[in-house]
């Protein structure tokens, strides 16, 4: 029997608070379900194999400028959308490969590895600040004081954003990112996103000009050297759009990895204590956090030709919602998927997507989680979190996460050293 759901079910308050029971019901219906005719999308794709296929299948494409022009959206009136359409997120296949190749030449594994001492230094400084703010048992907001600031500082270090400027970014990035959430956005949100987009564009325009005049050993300088060696490979709009998206994605998703991971571990003292005792387990913990509570839960693709997913038809031009967050809990792929198990083998989750749009910054995000979580638990061995609700699905994390800190354990050494 064909199962049909409405988009309102996916976007309802109950699912936004805890989507996993809904995902479990979807899995009982197969790998994909049809949406109602009045909904803007044709299907919800949620099974691991089906999601993996859609993300890799060239028939399914990102919602680029060609798609938006055909459906008559007045997207060019909004600077935030123009930036998204000029970036790797929504570039057409040829443009995407061209831009990604150029950026990949600047973001090498060597450059990420060279950042590791900076990640440790930044984390230690922020942990000192947490200790001061949480003295005498006072609650402190982990997201504001640590989880958002650490990846912002790390991506700032990578790009060459001066340290004094980095606190300027989070509020603007949050306003910019609001337009990415599934469902309708208010005009107030769109206007705020456009203002943020204009401010971010102005900032990176000045940063690019400064690095052209005085190159340094940072990502922007390396990228500009690559452009000088291959003139015409990138337009000015593409350069700025991709720097903005790289900065935004470089800390919002990692901040959610840290916040979501901290809550998982404080709710599971045995798992927390095992990682604290053996920091070498951190890499497998990061992978299970990403599978179990991914920072991003969905993507949207459109069909360039008539096709099907799991036996359900998708007409050319129709869009599908691709639930990577549900795919990571597919019992056909992950035994006992609702159990947090850092010892899982073959943990090939889809938290970083798949195919051509696999997350550009996955290596850096993994390094931050692997280096930071043991440091955090070593410094505060009995840290307690008081999580509030989460409502977003696109960028799923806590807006605020009050924590109470415990003093450093006696004779505790830094688990990274």
224 token code pair: 């500009």
Angle at 71 between CA 69 and CA 73, to 5 degrees: 65
Does residue 195 sit within a domain?
Answer: yes
Measure the CA–CA gap between 99 and 106, rounded to whole angstroms.
11
Q: What is the mean pLDDT of residues 217-234?
A: 85
Looking at residue 309, its pLDDT comes to 98
> What CATH number does residue 257 fall under?
1.10.630.10
pLDDT tops 80 at residue 412: no
pLDDT tops 60 at residue 397: yes
Question: What's the gap between Cα 288 and its chain centre?
Answer: 15
Measure the CA–CA gap between 417 and 414, rounded to whole angstroms.
6
Does residue 413 sit within a domain?
Answer: no
* Residues 6+ positions from 242 with CB-CB distance below 8 Å: 86, 87, 88, 99, 103
**pLDDT, mean over the chain:** 91
Question: What's the gap between Cα 154 and its chain centre?
Answer: 15
Question: What's the gap between Cα 116 and its chain centre?
Answer: 20
Looking at residue 415, its pLDDT comes to 37
Q: Which residue has the tokens 């057409």?
A: 92
Domain carrying residue 69: 4-404
Compute CA distances 53 → 31, 34, 50, whole Å.
Answer: 11, 17, 5
Mapped onto helix, strand or coil, the DSSP state of residue 404 is: strand
pLDDT tops 70 at residue 287: yes
Q: Which residue has the tokens 């606190």?
A: 167
Looking at residue 361, its pLDDT comes to 87
Q: What is the mean pLDDT of residues 218-223?
A: 89
SS3 per-residue string spanning 268-336: CHHHHHHHHHCHHHHHHHHHHHHHHCCCCCCEEEEECCCEEECCEEECCCCEEEECHHHHCCCCCCCCC
Per-residue pLDDT tens digits for 7-57: 999 989 999 999 999 999 999 999 999 999 999 999 999 999 999 999 999
Residue from 59, 35, 44 nearest 298 by CA: 44
Looking at residue 407, its pLDDT comes to 55
* Residues 6+ positions from 213 with CB-CB distance below 8 Å: none
pLDDT tops 50 at residue 413: no
Number of H helices, E strands in the chain: 19, 11
Cβ distance 351 to 290 under 8 Å? yes
Comparing 123-132, 395-404, 405-414, the range with the smallest average pLDDT is: 405-414
Does residue 417 sit within a domain?
Answer: no
Cβ distance 352 to 359 under 8 Å? yes
Residue 27 backbone dihedrals phi, psi, to 5 degrees: -60, -30
Mapped onto helix, strand or coil, the DSSP state of residue 69 is: helix
Q: What is the maximum alpha-carbon separation in the chain?
A: 65
Residue from 106, 64, 151 nearest 356 by CA: 64
Does residue 202 sit within a domain?
Answer: yes
73 token code pair: 């959206």
Domain count, the chain: 1
Measure the CA–CA gap between 325 and 312, rounded to whole angstroms.
21
Residue 341 backbone dihedrals phi, psi, to 5 degrees: -140, 90
Does residue 415 sit within a domain?
Answer: no
Confidence of residue 187 (pLDDT cuts 50, 70, 90): confident
Residue 349 backbone dihedrals phi, psi, to 5 degrees: -75, 175
Does residue 127 sit within a domain?
Answer: yes
Does residue 204 sit within a domain?
Answer: yes
Question: What's the gap between Cα 170 and its chain centre?
Answer: 14
Comparing 183-187, 236-240, 350-354, the range with the smallest average pLDDT is: 183-187
Q: Which residue has the tokens 């452009």?
A: 227
pLDDT tops 50 at residue 321: yes
- What is the percent of the chain with per-residue pLDDT over 90, rounded to a whole number? 70
Looking at residue 226, its pLDDT comes to 83
Measure the CA–CA gap between 250 and 19, rounded to whole angstroms.
25
Measure the CA–CA gap between 175 and 186, rounded to whole angstroms.
12
Give the pTM: 0.92
Does residue 396 sit within a domain?
Answer: yes
219: phi > 0 → left, psi -120 to 50 → alpha, else beta; which? alpha
Looking at residue 92, its pLDDT comes to 78
């Amino acid at each position: 029997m064909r199962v049909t759901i409405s988009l309102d079910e996916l976007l309802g308050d109950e699912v936004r608070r805890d989507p996993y029971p809904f995902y479990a019901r979807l899995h009982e219906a197969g790998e994909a379900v049809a949406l109602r005719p009045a909904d803007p999308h044709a299907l919800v794709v949620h099974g691991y194999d089906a999601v993996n296929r859609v993300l890799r299948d060239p028939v399914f494409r990102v919602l680029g400028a060609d798609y938006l022009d055909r459906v008559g959206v007045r997207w060019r009136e909004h600077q935030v959308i123009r930036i998204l359409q000029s970036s790797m997120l929504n570039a057409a296949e040829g443009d995407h490969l061209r831009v990604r190749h150029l950026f990949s030449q600047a973001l090498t594994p060597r450059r990420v590895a060279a950042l590791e001492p900076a990640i440790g230094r930044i984390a230690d400084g922020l942990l000192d600040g947490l200790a001061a703010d949480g003295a005498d048992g006072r609650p402190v907001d982990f997201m504001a004081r640590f989880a958002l600031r650490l990846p912002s500082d790390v991506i700032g270090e990578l790009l060459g954003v001066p340290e004094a400027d980095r606190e300027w970014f989070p509020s603007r990035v949050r306003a910019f990112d609001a337009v990415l959430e599934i469902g309708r956005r208010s005009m107030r949100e769109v206007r705020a996103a456009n203002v943020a987009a204009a401010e971010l564009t102005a900032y990176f325009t000045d940063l690019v000009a400064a690095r052209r005049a005085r190159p340094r050993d940072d990502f922007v300088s390396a990228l500009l050297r690559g452009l000088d060696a291959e003139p015409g490979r990138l337009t000015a709009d593409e350069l700025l759009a991709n720097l903005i998206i790289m900065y935004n994605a470089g800390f919002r998703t990692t901040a959610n990895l840290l916040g979501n991971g901290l809550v998982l571990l404080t709710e599971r003292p045995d798992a927390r204590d095992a990682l604290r005792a053996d920091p070498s387990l951190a890499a497998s913990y990061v992978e299970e956090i990403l599978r179990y509570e991914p920072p991003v839960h969905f993507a949207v693709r459109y069909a360039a030709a008539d096709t099907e997913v799991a036996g359900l038809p998708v007409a050319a031009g129709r869009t599908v919602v691709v639930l990577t967050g549900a795919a990571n809990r597919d019992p056909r792929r992950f035994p006992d998927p609702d159990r947090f198990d850092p010892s899982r083998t073959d943990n090939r989750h889809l938290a970083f997507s798949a195919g051509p749009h696999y997350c550009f910054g996955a290596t850096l995000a993994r390094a931050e989680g692997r280096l930071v979580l043991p440091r955090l638990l070593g410094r505060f061995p009995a840290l307690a979190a008081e999580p509030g609700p989460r409502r977003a699905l696109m960028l799923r994390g806590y807006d605020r996460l009050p924590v109470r800190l415990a003093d450093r354990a006696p004779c505790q050494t830094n688990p990274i050293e």
